[in-house]
Chain A
Amino acid sequence: MKKKSIAIIIYFLFLNKIAFAKEGMPQLNPEFWLSQILWLTIIFVILYFLIQKFFSPKLFALIDSRTNFIKSLLEEAELCKNQIQKLESEYNLIITEAKNEAKKISIKLKNDFSDKISLKRKEFENILNSETLKAEQEINNFKKQTLENIQNIAGDFSKELIEKITGVAPNSSNLNAVILEISNKEKKSQYV
């Protein structure tokens, strides 16, 4: 029984495959199976050993070093970027401060200038007022004097005229009073 079962197992493991191989599938011929397994093991193990011990660490180290190199460059670039941003913000701050300062100076100059202008204007107005006052006074004086001269001339002329017409010299004080009255009337009619 045991022998029979072993024979069946052997048939299913090898002999039927030989039959298949003879019919057309050389892969199922177990003649070189162990040889192929042996050589596959030897070659694969050597290849694996070489890749694991030599090529893989070398390439890993290279890729790691490149990654680190790129990382350091990126960090440097980031640092430069931050510095540029800092400088830019400082520059913007300086520009803003300068603008504010310029604005302040401009406002101050404007105020100073306007103060000076108003001062000068005041001075000029004062001078103008005093000059106007003086001129008015002079005009009034001249007017007064002129009026007195006109009255005197009118009195003398009237005295001589009355004397020539009537032959009698009029009283000077009466004549002057009459002329003064007439001139006052004239003055009033002019202002009315």
Chain B
Amino acid sequence: MATNPMQQFEVHRIGPSLSFNGIDLSFTNSSLFMLISSILIIFFFIAGTRKVNIIPGKIQLLNELVFNFISKMINETVGPNARPYFPFILTIFLFILTLNMVGLLPYAFTVTSQIIITFFLAIVIFIGVTIVGFAKNGIGFLKIFAPSGVPVFLFPIIVAIEIISFLSRPISLSVRLFANMLAGHTMLKVFGGFVVSLGIIGGWLPLSFSVALTALEILVAFLQAYVFAVLSCIYLNDALNMHH
């Protein structure tokens, strides 16, 4: 077992080296766990939708539960006009949730603890939402930076704050997920290291902490996936239903 708790986040190449114009595009352990998570999601859906009945079976019920959960969340935060974006939000939620959960397994790699992954997902959502906002509202989308009812002398400051707040969305969205995963897994690794170093006599206390932390991490894994999806919906809501 590695002693450095940060070693678990190291990305390394799996298989042959693949490069294009000098850029390394090799398949890595991160890519492998993304693939595993995606396969799990696909199997989950295949098992749930293989034989669909009006009275559902166990897996179909679980499928519908996830489906209804996301559907309800989108309806509550964005409204019924967000149905075309449902598959994307569902994919985001399930992808992050599975990556988080798979990352909790021993010797597994936590893909969402990579800032580049969370940042790329967040920037895709940010750019997508901005495109949707301009497509739906035209140049009027810029009104998002100018809230109504603001005194004239405060207007430039508020607009500046709104622009900074808007631009910092991908950073906050990505850092939240990344930092939570990083902190949780580092803690688990540290306590795991204590269990090993304190041995069979003194290791029981950190072991019990590890068990409690694992339970907490399962909760965090779900919660962070949910928060990511909810915030994506809120940003989408700003683009679809402008309040300013």
Which residues of chain A have a CB within 8 Å of any CB of chain B? 24-41, 43-44, 46-48, 50-52, 54-56, 58-59, 62-63, 65-66, 69
Query: Chain B residues in contact with chain A, CB under 8 A?
Result: 4, 6-7, 9-11, 13, 18, 23-28, 30-31, 34-35, 38, 41-42, 45, 48-49, 52, 54, 63-64, 67-68, 86-88, 90-91, 94-95, 113-117, 120-121, 178, 182
Min CB distance B89 to A, Å, is: 10
| Given A59-B64, A69-B54, also A26-B9 (CB < 8 A) | yes
Q: Are A47 and B26 in contact (CB under 8 A)?
A: no
Across the interface, do A35 and B31 meet the contact criterion of CB distance under 8 Å? yes
Given A35-B26, A36-B116, A51-B45, A59:B31 Cβ within 8 A: no
Main secondary structure of the interface of A (DSSP, over half): helix
Contact A40 B34 (CB under 8 A): yes
Candidates A25, A39, A41; contact of B30 at CB < 8 Å: A39
Tell me whether A44 and B91 are in contact in the complex, defined as CB-CB below 8 angstroms, given that A32-B26, A34-B25, A35-B25 are known contacts.
yes
Chain B residue with minimal CB distance to A23? B6
Q: Which residues of A contact B10 (CB under 8 A)?
A: 26
Known contacts A47-B95, A59-B64: does B23 contact A28 (CB below 8 Å)? no
| Residue in chain A with minimal CB distance to B123 | A37
- Given A27-B116, A47-B95, A51-B91, also A32-B28 (CB < 8 A): yes
- Chain A residues near B24: list those with CB within 8 A: 31-32, 34-35
Among the listed B9, B49, B54, B88, which residue makes an inter-chain contact with A55, where contact means beta carbons less than 8 Å apart? Answer: B49
Contact, CB under 8 Å: A40 / B120: yes
A53 vs chain B, min Cβ distance (A) = 9
Closest to A44 in B: B95
Which residues does chain B contribute within 8 Å of A44, judged by CB atoms?
34, 38, 91, 95, 121
Question: What B residues does A40 contact at CB under 8 A?
Answer: 31, 34, 117, 120-121
Contact A56–B117 (Cβ < 8 Å): no
Q: A27-B116, A40-B117, A44-B91 are in contact. List 13 more A-B contacts (CB 8 A).
A: A26-B7, A35-B25, A35-B27, A35-B28, A39-B27, A40-B34, A40-B121, A44-B121, A46-B38, A50-B42, A51-B45, A54-B45, A62-B54
Which A residue's beta carbon lies closest to that of B67?
A59
Please tell me if the beta carbons of A36 and B114 are within 8 angstroms of each other in the complex: yes
> Which residue on A lies nearest to B31, using beta carbons?
A39
Can you list 18 A-B pairs with a CB-CB distance of less than 8 A? A24-B4, A31-B11, A36-B11, A36-B28, A36-B114, A39-B31, A39-B34, A40-B117, A41-B120, A43-B34, A43-B38, A48-B87, A48-B88, A54-B45, A55-B45, A56-B90, A59-B49, A62-B49
User: Which chain A residue has the least Cβ–Cβ distance from B83?
Assistant: A60
Closest to A35 in B: B25
Contact A51 B30 (CB under 8 A): no
In the complex where A27-B113, A46-B38 touch, is A38 in contact with B6 (Cβ < 8 A)? Answer: no
Give the complex CA separation of A51 and B91 in angstroms: 7
Cα-based distance from A31 to B13 in the complex (angstroms): 10
Least CB distance, A131 to chain B, in whole angstroms? 93
- Are A26 and B67 also in contact (CB < 8 A) when A47-B38, A48-B91, A56-B86 are? no
Question: Of A36, A46, A50, which contacts B117 at CB under 8 A?
Answer: A36
Distance in angstroms between the alpha carbons of A47 and B45 in the assembled complex: 11
